[in-house]
């Protein structure tokens, strides 16, 4: 059974010249204990998907249609006060910059204890003990002393561990982690990745990991959703998506990763750029950049189609065979 189900989610931003559709018919699910990676270029809609689930869409953004269902309960249409109870208790959030998640005026212990007592039936002493245990579990040394320190007294990696402890404070079933390792050096990234995997294994929590780093996805996730221009381009088991990409965009992303076993002077690059929301092309949004584009791609937009072990929004996997002579990149 799925812990989280996102069904045909559409997010729009009203604009003086019309309405911009930032997420267009997004559907996926996450099972308990699973890590789902969400990857794509900047502007693909990754963070917006996470914000929609957490209930932190920036106005005037709004969920125009579709559903977000957590443990069988629809949460996208809850009043703000009800959503605040869900956020923290049922859903934990980890953001890219830990300083945006921590109040610099309060000790980390005060912030943890406040979160714990808000959502769990514990008194101050019990909440403090739980806060110390959380800091210890997330790898903070001398947690019983560090609990009274302020955010500026921690290094970047240690601050991110505090944020993870904060996300776990009320024992949520789902954690939305938005670029949790981007601001950290490589050795600390590896520690945070290991920590996220341990959380899933030991606590049975599901994690939605938003990143632009395919290396982090390969190391951490069970499944991956590749996003492009507000839609899911490919969805499937991480091993299959990485080793046998079914969508040309996914194949392009994988080709951009340096291969240490091959001696070449230049890295592969995907020509062009992600389209602006007010200039998404007709048909498949990727068609102007695609090396395998044909006429149908320019006129009809594909839904996710079965593509072996994964599903890809690409007409190459339609039941009707694609034209034998594929055309070059569109002008």
The token pair that represents 97 in the structure block? 């910059």
For residue 129 the two structure tokens come to 């003990």
Q: Which residue has 């629809």 as its token pair? A: 74
Evaluate the CA torsion angle 160, 161, 166, 172 in order and state its sign.
positive
**Tens digits of residue pLDDT in 163-195:** 999 999 988 999 999 988 877 788 788 888 888
Which is nearest to 40 in space by CA: 256, 307, 268, 302?
256
Asked if the model's pLDDT at residue 37 lies above 70, the reply is: yes
In whole angstroms, what is the distance from residue 103 CA to residue 99 CA?
7
305-307 and 18-30: which strand pairing? Answer: unpaired
Distance CA 235, CA 233 (A): 7
DSSP 8-state symbol, 323 = P
> In the CATH scheme, what is the code of domain 4-221?
3.40.50.300
Q: Residue 112: is the preceding peptide bond cis (ω within 30°)?
A: no
Which residues of the chain does CATH 3.40.50.300 include?
4-221
pLDDT (tens digit per residue) in 117-142: 999 999 999 999 999 999 998 889 99
pLDDT by residue (tens digit) across 200-214? 788 888 999 999 888
């Amino acid at each position: 059974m799925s812990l989280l189900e996102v069904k045909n989610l559409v997010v729009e931003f009203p604009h003086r010249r019309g309405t911009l559709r930032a997420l267009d018919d997004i559907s996926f699910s996450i099972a308990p204990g699973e890590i789902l990676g969400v990857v794509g270029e900047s502007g693909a809609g990754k963070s917006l998907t996470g914000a929609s689930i957490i209930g932190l869409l920036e106005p005037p953004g709004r969920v125009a249609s579709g559903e977000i269902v957590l443990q069988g309960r629809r949460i996208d249409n809850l009043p703000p006060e009800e959503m605040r109870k869900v956020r923290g208790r049922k859903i934990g959030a980890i953001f890219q910059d830990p300083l945006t998640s921590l109040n610099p005026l309060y000790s980390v212990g005060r912030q943890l204890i406040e979160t714990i007592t808000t959502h769990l039936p514990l008194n101050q002493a019990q909440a403090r003990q739980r806060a110390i245990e959380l800091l210890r579990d997330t790898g903070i040394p001398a947690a019983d002393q560090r609990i009274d320190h302020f955010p500026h007294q921690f290094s970047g990696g240690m601050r991110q561990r505090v944020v993870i402890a904060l996300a776990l404070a009320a024992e949520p079933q789902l954690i939305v982690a938005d670029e949790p390792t981007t601001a950290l050096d490589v050795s600390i990234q590896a520690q945070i990745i290991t920590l996220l995997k341990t959380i899933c294994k030991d606590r049975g929590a599901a994690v939605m990991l938003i990143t632009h780093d395919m290396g982090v996805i390969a190391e951490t996730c069970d499944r991956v959703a590749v996003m492009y221009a507000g839609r899911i381009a490919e969805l499937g088991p991480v091993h299959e998506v990485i080793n046998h990409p079914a969508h040309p965009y996914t194949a392009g992303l994988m080709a951009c990763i340096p291969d240490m076993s091959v001696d070449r002077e230049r890295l592969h690059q995907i020509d062009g750029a992600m389209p602006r929301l007010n200039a998404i092309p007709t048909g498949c949004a990727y068609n102007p950049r695609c090396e395998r584009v044909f006429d149908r791609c320019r006129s009809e937009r594909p839904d996710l189609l079965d593509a072996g072990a994964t599903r890809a929004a690409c007409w190459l996997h339609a039941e009707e065979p694609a034209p034998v002579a594929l055309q070059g990149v569109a002008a």
